[in-house]
């Protein structure tokens, strides 16, 4: 199966952390078929979060091929985050992070379980997800919305939303 994995970091040596995560994914999960460019983006902040300065994120996406089921891929991604130094007990949803690894899409599969939602439910609203994904899988079609990644990205850009 083909997976789109989003990678993001706004702490430490971001470029090195993303490169190391990509190598670990290749070793532990599956073959990396394509890698996007790196994109610098502003952190996503919740309107009720106490505003404090955060570094910009570096975001990218990779297209991988794996024989593992999505649940095992997710478990492996969480293990890689821990191996690279992410402490999820200290990291809230809107907090800075050394590494963030998310499954964005898996072919035309839909999963809606407590611990895993595929496609990622917010992907079509996030330029920092769609822009790198468009580099690696522009013709992927959202199985619920019926639009390609490229169409979703163009729709988002026309609304001028980050």
Nearest of 58, 146, 151, 141 to residue 98 by alpha carbon = 58
Please indicate, yes or no, if residue 48 is contained in any of the structural domains: yes
pLDDT digits (tens, 9 = 90+) for 101-121: 999 999 999 999 999 999 999
Q: Tell if the pTM clears 0.75, that is, is over it.
A: yes
pLDDT digits (tens, 9 = 90+) for 49-61: 555 667 899 999 9
Domain containing 77 — which CATH number? 3.30.70.560
Please indicate, yes or no, if residue 42 is contained in any of the structural domains: yes
Please indicate, yes or no, if residue 59 is contained in any of the structural domains: yes
Let me know if 97 is a catalytic residue.
Answer: yes
Please indicate, yes or no, if residue 136 is contained in any of the structural domains: no
Let me know if 159 is a catalytic residue.
Answer: no
pLDDT for 149: 97
Let me know if 86 is a catalytic residue.
Answer: yes
- Active-site position among 15, 56, 87, 100: 100
- Look at the alpha carbons of 119, 124, 126, 132 in this order and tell me if their dihedral is positive or negative: positive
Residue range(s) defining the domain that contains residue 107: 2-120
β partners of residue 58: 9, 40
Residue 25 phi, psi (nearest 5): -60, -45
C-alpha to C-alpha distance for 112 and 83, rounded to whole angstroms: 27
Please indicate, yes or no, if residue 57 is contained in any of the structural domains: yes
Average pLDDT, the chain: 91
Total domains in the chain come to 1
C-alpha to C-alpha distance for 130 and 61, rounded to whole angstroms: 9
Please indicate, yes or no, if residue 125 is contained in any of the structural domains: no
Please indicate, yes or no, if residue 135 is contained in any of the structural domains: no
pLDDT for 96: 80
pLDDT for 51: 53
- Active-site position among 15, 102, 112, 126: 102
C-alpha to C-alpha distance for 121 and 132, rounded to whole angstroms: 17
pLDDT for 97: 86
């Amino acid at each position: 199966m083909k997976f789109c994995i989003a990678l993001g970091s706004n702490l430490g040596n971001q470029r090195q952390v993303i490169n190391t995560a990509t190598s670990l994914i290749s070793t532990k999960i599956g073959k990396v078929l394509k890698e996007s460019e790196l994109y610098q983006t502003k952190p996503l902040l919740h309107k009720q979060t106490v505003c404090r300065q955060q570094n910009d994120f570096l975001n990218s996406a990779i297209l991988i091929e794996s024989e593992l089921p999505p649940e095992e891929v997710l478990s492996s991604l969480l293990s890689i985050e821990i191996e690279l130094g992410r402490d999820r007990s200290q990291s809230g949803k809107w907090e800075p992070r050394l590494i963030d690894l998310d499954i964005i899409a898996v072919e035309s599969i839909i999963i809606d379980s407590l611990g895993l939602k595929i496609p990622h439910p917010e992907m079509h609203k996030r330029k920092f997800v769609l822009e790198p994904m468009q580099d690696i899988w522009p013709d992927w079609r959202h199985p619920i919305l019926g639009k390609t990644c490229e169409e979703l990205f163009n729709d988002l850009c026309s609304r001028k939303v980050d």
